[in-house]
Amino acid sequence: MTRVRVVTFNVQHDAGDPRRTARINAELRRLVPDVVVFQEVRYPDDTRNQLAELVDGLDLHTTHQADILERMPPDADVYGGTAVATRWPHRILEVVDGRTPDGIYWYTLAVSIELPDLGPVLLLTPTTFWKLDAEAWREQQMRELAALDTHHRTKLPTIVAGDFNAVPETASIRFLTGLQSLDGHSACYHDAWAIAGNGPGYTWTVDNPLGAAEIDRLVGQPDVRCRIDYVFVGSVPAHPDARARVVGAELIGEKAPLSDHHGVLVDLEYSV
C-alpha cells in the first residue's frame, strides 16, 4: 500500500501581498504533499521563478507549462500557468490546448507519475474557463479530459485535480462524477471531498478576504460561496485489483487565507 497526498491550489500568481508565495511554501512544508498541481503560477523569467519559491525545500520534481509549450500564450502575464510538482519522477504525456473562441488559453496536462512499488499512475490536471456563461466550454473540456484518461490510463486509478470553475451541480462536474452523460459520452470519478471532506468545502468564497473583491468584480452578487476546486480519483481501474481509497480531505488556507482560492488536500491509499 502506498499513501499519496495530493494538493490542488490556485495561487493567484503573485497578486497582492508579495509575502503570499512564501506563506504558501511554509504551509506546503507543513503538509508535506506528494503531488501538487498549481494553477495561475507566474511564468518564470529573468527576475523570478515563482514555482521554485512555492516548492522550496520540499524535494519535489517540477514542471511548469512554460517548460513544455512551444510558445508563451499572449495572456500568460495575466493568468500565469499550470504547474506540477511530484515527490517521485514524472513525465508529461500530452497537453490539450483548451483555448476558448475569444482567444483565452487554458491547458490540460496528462502526467505520468512513477509510484514506488506500484508503477505509473496517470494525473490529469485541467484549468477550465472561468466565465460564468462558459459551461458549454467546460463541458467540452471535460469530454476531452475523459478521452485523455481513456488513452493514457494505467492499471492504477487515475487522479484528476485542478481548478474547474464549476460547482458540483453543473453539467461538467456531474459528468465527471457519473451523474449524467454529455453528447453520448459518460465517465465516473470519485469526488474526494464528497467522500471524506467535512462541511461544504467552499474554495472560492466571500468569507475569504483575499477573494471577496475578485468575487464581487466577477459575480457582483452577495454571499457567493462555491466549491470549484477538486481532487477526483478514477472509479474504473484498468486492473481489477487496483484500488485508490480516499482516506482524508481538507481545505488549505481556510483559517488563514493564502490566495483568492482555498487549496484542497486529499490523502489516497493506493494498492494492487
In this structure, what C-alpha cell is assigned to residue 214?
A: 475578485
pLDDT of residue 272: 87
Buried b (16+ CB within 10 A) or exposed e, 208-229: bebbeebbeeeeeeeebebbbb
Give the total number of structural domains in the chain.
Answer: 1
In a 3-state reduction of DSSP, which class is residue 72? Answer: coil
The enclosing domain of 168 has a CATH number of 3.60.10.10
Which tens digit of pLDDT belongs to each residue from 209-266? 999 999 999 999 999 999 999 999 998 767 778 999 999 999 999 999 999 999 999 9
Q: Under 8 Å CB-to-CB from 93, ≥6 apart: which residues?
A: 110, 111, 112, 122, 152
Res 100 pLDDT > 80: no
CA distance 272 to 251: 28
Judge contact between 244 and 268, C-beta under 8 A: yes
Better-scored residue on pLDDT, 47 or 240? 47
CA distance 208 to 224: 11
pLDDT of residue 237: 67
Which tens digit of pLDDT belongs to each residue from 177-212? 999 999 999 999 999 999 999 999 999 999 999 999
Res 74 pLDDT > 90: no
Judge contact between 146 and 181, C-beta under 8 A: no
Place of cell 460547482: 167
Half-sphere exposure of 173 (CA within 13 A, CB side): 21
**Domain coverage including residue 27:** 2-271
Give the strands of the sheet with 81-86, arranged side by side: 61-64, 81-86, 35-41, 2-10, 263-271, 243-252
